[in-house]
Amino acid sequence: MSVSYGGDSITFADGSVNSSGFIGHRNRIINGAMVIDQRNAGASVSTASGVAAYTLDRFKIDYSQTSKFTLQQNAGSVTPPVGFGNYLGVTSSSAYSVLAGDYFQLSQAIEGFNTSDLSFGTASAVTVTLSFWVRSSLTGSFGGTLQNSAVSRSYPFSYTISVANTWEQKTITIAGDTSGTWIGATNGVGLTVNFNLGMGSTRSGTANAWAAGNFLAPTGATSVVGTNGATFYITGVQLERGSTASSFEYRSYGAELALCQRYAYKRLADGSANDYAPFGIGRYYGTNAAQLFIPFPVTMRISPSSITVGGIIFVNDLGFSGQTWVSPVLNESSCDGATVTGSTTTGITAGYATTFYANSTSVASILFNAEL
């Protein structure tokens, strides 16, 4: 692809312009092409419990009422827009009338290290452009918002879906916020991008203007959860400096995965595909206890705060026979690795080395969480 550089802008062969002159990480959104799905591997996610959950990597769902929609990579098997192989699909589970304080949204928090150059909260705040591909069974005015970490500054943006069940590309240019408190180059939340799926009146605000307060959508935005079976699909999400959307910044699968692993890392061993797939090495920690050490492939944002264990993990004893590793819990962690300790049925002398693996029928996993 040819590019031409002039002053503070770069013009690409397709005619798109990157006015920031920044190549290499123009897109501040991670996994904007919806390629990485460490947690669910393409399975559907339900809003059945809790107040927030992650679906595809780096995309979180926030909601005030459970069981109102499901999310899935490539839900409904719709053909993505040209140039993309994946999308994130939302399907409404009922016809729900949102209450004044309700909220339903898809969001991504961007780390302060990746937004500090935008200089929000100062007189030097720069203009940014949000672009994405969207498809819905509904038409009308939709929206979302940009917010600071304290959710005390909000920019509710609006866009129109004109034709049902048709991919449309949207571009929204937003002047940088010169007011409020925005964090600088730290590992906290620098900026959050939200996409509305249904919003109550007290959480809605004036469209296309910065405001003091926690506003998650423009007033009057279409409610996806308001129609049973309604769909909302999105991909190609990009946030960049400048007033013009450039072509979507594709990164290699490995590079995109590494960016995601800063926030969540899933250690996986598929025993059903690879008989007794190795999981890692460790030691017997004490009577009826074994400890596994797992180095992380990239430095995580913070020391992981929690783990989620899936499947059955086995540990070898001195007779080379496997026994189930029971109730593994996070023991010690840093940004570069962690130890996980679980119990065993047979006691082995503390300090002896051992191996951990998935049995011949199980997909075993441990997810380490360091999300914003």
Each residue's pLDDT tens digit, 152-180: 999 999 999 999 999 999 999 999 999 99
Q: What is the CATH number of the domain that holds 83?
A: 2.60.120.260
Q: β-pairing, 278-286 with 289-295?
A: antiparallel
Nearest-angstrom CA–CA distance, 168 and 128: 20
Residues 8 and 93 in one domain: yes
Q: Convert the pLDDT of each residue in 290-330 to its tens digit.
A: 999 999 999 999 999 899 999 999 998 876 678 899 999 99
pTM of the model: 0.92
Tally of structural domains, the chain: 2
The whole domain housing 150 covers: 3-260
Residues 142 and 117 in one domain: yes
Residue type, position 249, single letter: E
Residue among 236, 229, 227, 163 nearest 195 (CA):
236
Residues 18 and 77 in one domain: yes
Residue at which a domain ends, from 260, 286, 302: 260
Q: What is the pLDDT of residue 338?
A: 98
Nearest-angstrom CA–CA distance, 89 and 195: 13
Full pLDDT tens readout for the chain, 372 residues: 344 433 345 554 434 444 444 456 899 999 999 999 999 999 999 887 665 688 999 999 999 999 999 999 999 999 999 999 999 999 999 999 999 999 999 999 999 999 999 999 999 999 999 999 999 999 999 999 999 999 999 999 999 999 999 999 999 999 999 999 999 999 999 999 999 999 999 999 999 999 999 999 999 999 999 999 999 999 999 999 999 999 999 999 999 999 999 999 999 999 888 888 999 999 998 878 999 999 999 999 999 989 999 999 999 887 667 889 999 999 999 999 999 999 998 878 888 999 999 988 889 999 999 999
Nearest-angstrom CA–CA distance, 10 and 15: 10
Residues 256 and 274 in one domain: no
Element holding 260 (H helix, E strand)? helix 253-261
Residues 269 and 183 in one domain: no
Residue among 312, 322, 342, 321 nearest 330 (CA):
342
Cβ atoms of residues 4 and 18 within 8 Å: no
Q: What is the pLDDT of residue 99?
A: 98
Residues 205 and 226 in one domain: yes
Nearest-angstrom CA–CA distance, 1 and 334: 41
Residue at which a domain ends, from 217, 239, 260: 260
Q: What is the pLDDT of residue 281?
A: 94
Q: What is the CATH number of the domain that holds 347?
A: 2.60.40
Q: What is the pLDDT of residue 148?
A: 98
Q: What is the pLDDT of residue 273?
A: 87
Q: What is the pLDDT of residue 132?
A: 99
Residues 203 and 285 in one domain: no
Cβ atoms of residues 199 and 216 within 8 Å: yes
Residue at which a domain ends, from 260, 295, 314: 260
